[in-house]
């Protein structure tokens, strides 16, 4: 027997209610039918999932392992059905749609807010994914209109033919997050050797992330213990001092967690936006750029890094491609390069999604939150 979503839903119901009788009632089936189904599931996985006791059902160690994987799948399936129904409803009423896909970024809330404020008649959807390559494929196949992704240094993305892409940041340095009471937090900039005795945590499902961290640690002559897991879990473990982890420079420190740049900026990513046409890029790029620098201004560690590199002149060096499109066939791979670090120069105002408006209207409206006290973008050469 192959496991199906209904089987996983039954396991979750039994665990949540602690009773076959209550779970059967919740699922709308008889208790004997649920008991038979549970036996078949246990036979399929090769072991007992629940210990039957006088007080009810309690997950066995194997049961806890299966439930830890089953619960997210049940939630995702529920969300899939809900989103599909909502999308079908929107398609039926003829509402214009903008389908955005993105890897994790603190620029997303400000980006969506600006798009909604500028074009309230357009329904914007967001799909998050740890795989930049998967999102690019979805744009190429027409499932998404725009993808905002990051390319880890040394692990070039596979851009499908026919896509246009525009670089937001040519090389964004990656910082490290560590417990607030870690000895290395006494420094403004952390050496990798300061973290030699620490365990690291990385999400291997993020395209290029594990390979990039391995390369950086190997070049530093380090071979620390590495745990695999998602970055939500990593943040919790960082706060308790169990691990350290690479983080985006826009990350904001917390009372129990510090954010520091790494000496020499050994790991970088390229931030880029991809679409099928230049018009689609023009429609969203300006709002994304403004949202990114807004997020950068909220991170004291990134502010210091940007201002320091501006003073030293590093921010003005290197290539700039933020204001023009490049076909996917001509995109070069992002090879490891410890320095210099390039930051994009300001670009022209974007073309609106709907109808043309005067250029002045493209500036962020007053109610989008306070502007940074200092413009962190580099002065154009």
Partnered with residue 259 across adjacent β-strands are: 177
Label residue 2 by pLDDT band (50, 70, 90).
Answer: confident
Do 166 and 179 belong to one domain? no
Spatial CA neighbour of 262 closest among 313, 207, 200: 200
Q: Provide the pLDDT for residue 205.
A: 85
Strand pairing category for 146-152 and 268-275: antiparallel
Do 282 and 153 belong to one domain? yes
**CB distance 14 to 23 below 8 Å:** yes
Q: What is the pTM of this model?
A: 0.64
Do 329 and 293 belong to one domain? yes
Task: Report the CATH number at residue 32.
Answer: 1.10.10.10
Domain count across the chain = 3
Average pLDDT on 185-201 reads 96
Query: Measured between alpha carbons, how far is 199 from 223 in angstroms, rounded to an integer?
Result: 10
Task: Report the CATH number at residue 150.
Answer: 3.40.190.10
Label residue 281 by pLDDT band (50, 70, 90).
Answer: very high
Do 165 and 179 belong to one domain? no
Query: Measured between alpha carbons, how far is 333 from 10 in angstroms, rounded to an integer?
Result: 47
Reduced to 3 states, what is the DSSP secondary structure of residue 306?
helix
In a domain, 381, yes or no: no
Helix (H) or strand (E) holding 184: none
Do 272 and 363 belong to one domain? yes
Label residue 55 by pLDDT band (50, 70, 90).
Answer: confident
In a domain, 88, yes or no: no
Q: Provide the pLDDT for residue 216.
A: 95
**CB distance 310 to 302 below 8 Å:** no
Residues 6+ apart with CB under 8 A from 52: none
* Whether residue 44 has pLDDT greater than 70: yes
Do 232 and 284 belong to one domain? no
* Whether residue 306 has pLDDT greater than 90: yes
**CB distance 225 to 200 below 8 Å:** yes
Which DSSP string corresponds to 43-101?
HHHTS--EEEETTEEEE-HHHHHHHHHHHHHHHHHHHHHHHHHHHHHHHHHT--EEEEE
* Whether residue 210 has pLDDT greater than 50: yes
Query: Measured between alpha carbons, how far is 177 from 185 in angstroms, rounded to an integer?
Result: 10
In a domain, 56, yes or no: yes
Q: Provide the pLDDT for residue 86.
A: 66
Q: Provide the pLDDT for residue 25.
A: 85
Average pLDDT on 67-94 reads 77
Do 243 and 346 belong to one domain? no
Spatial CA neighbour of 194 closest among 204, 202, 183: 183
Average pLDDT on 284-301 reads 96
Do 155 and 136 belong to one domain? yes
Q: What percent of the chain has pLDDT over 90?
A: 58
Query: Measured between alpha carbons, how far is 112 from 284 in angstroms, rounded to an integer?
Result: 10
In a domain, 9, yes or no: yes
Average pLDDT on 51-59 reads 87
Domain with 355, as residue range(s), is 95-172+267-368
In a domain, 344, yes or no: yes
Helices assigned H by DSSP within the chain: 5-17, 20-27, 31-45, 61-93, 108-118, 132-140, 209-219, 231-239, 278-297, 300-312
Question: In this predicted model, what pLDDT tens digit does every residue of 86-122 receive, in sequence order?
Answer: 666 666 666 788 999 999 999 999 999 999 999 998 9
Reduced to 3 states, what is the DSSP secondary structure of residue 23?
helix
Do 56 and 143 belong to one domain? no
Do 107 and 156 belong to one domain? yes
Q: Provide the pLDDT for residue 314.
A: 52
Question: In this predicted model, what pLDDT tens digit does every residue of 314-339 receive, in sequence order?
Answer: 543 333 334 445 455 434 334 333 33
- On average, the pLDDT of the chain sits at 82
């Amino acid at each position: 027997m192959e496991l199906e979503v209904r089987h996983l839903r039954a396991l979750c119901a039994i665990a949540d209610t602690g009773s076959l009788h209550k779970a059967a009632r919740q699922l709308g089936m008889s208790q004997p039918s649920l008991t038979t189904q549970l036996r078949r599931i246990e036979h399929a996985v090769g072991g007992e999932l629940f210990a039957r006791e006088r007080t009810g059902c309690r997950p066995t160690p194997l049961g806890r392992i299966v439930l830890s994987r089953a619960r997210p799948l049940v939630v995702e399936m529920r969300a899939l059905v809900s989103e599909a129904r909502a999308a079908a409803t929107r398609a039926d009423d003829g509402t214009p749609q903008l389908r955005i896909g993105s890897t994790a970024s603190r620029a997303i809330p400000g980006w969506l807010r600006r798009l909604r404020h500028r074009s309230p008649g357009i329904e914007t959807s967001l799909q998050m994914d740890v795989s930049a390559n998967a999102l690019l494929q979805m744009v190429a196949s027409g499932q998404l209109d725009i993808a905002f992704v990051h390319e880890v240094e040394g692990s070039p993305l596979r851009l499908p033919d026919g896509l246009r892409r525009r670089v937001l940041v040519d090389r964004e340095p990656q910082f490290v997050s560590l417990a607030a009471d870690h000895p290395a937090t006494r420094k403004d900039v952390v050496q990798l050797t300061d973290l030699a005795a620490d365990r690291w945590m990385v999400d291997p499902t993020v395209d290029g992330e594990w390979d990039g961290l391995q390369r950086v640690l190997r070049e530093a002559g380090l071979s620390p213990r590495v745990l695999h897991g998602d970055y939500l879990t990593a943040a919790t473990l960082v706060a308790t001092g169990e691990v350290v982890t690479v983080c985006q420079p826009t990350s904001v420190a917390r009372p129990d967690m510090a954010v520091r740049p790494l000496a020499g900026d050994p790991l970088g990513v390229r931030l880029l936006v991809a679409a099928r046409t230049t018009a689609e890029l023009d429609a969203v790029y300006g709002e994304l750029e403004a949202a990114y620098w807004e997020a950068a201004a909220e991170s004291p560690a990134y502010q210091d890094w940007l201002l320091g590199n501006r003073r030293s002149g590093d921010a003005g060096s290197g290539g700039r491609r933020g204001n023009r499109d490049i076909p996917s066939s001509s995109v070069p791979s992002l090879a490891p390069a410890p320095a210099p670090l390039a930051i994009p120069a300001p670009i022209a105002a974007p073309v609106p999604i709907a109808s043309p408006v005067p250029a002045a209207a493209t500036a962020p409206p007053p109610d989008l939150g306070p502007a940074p006290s200092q413009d962190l973008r580099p002065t154009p050469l």
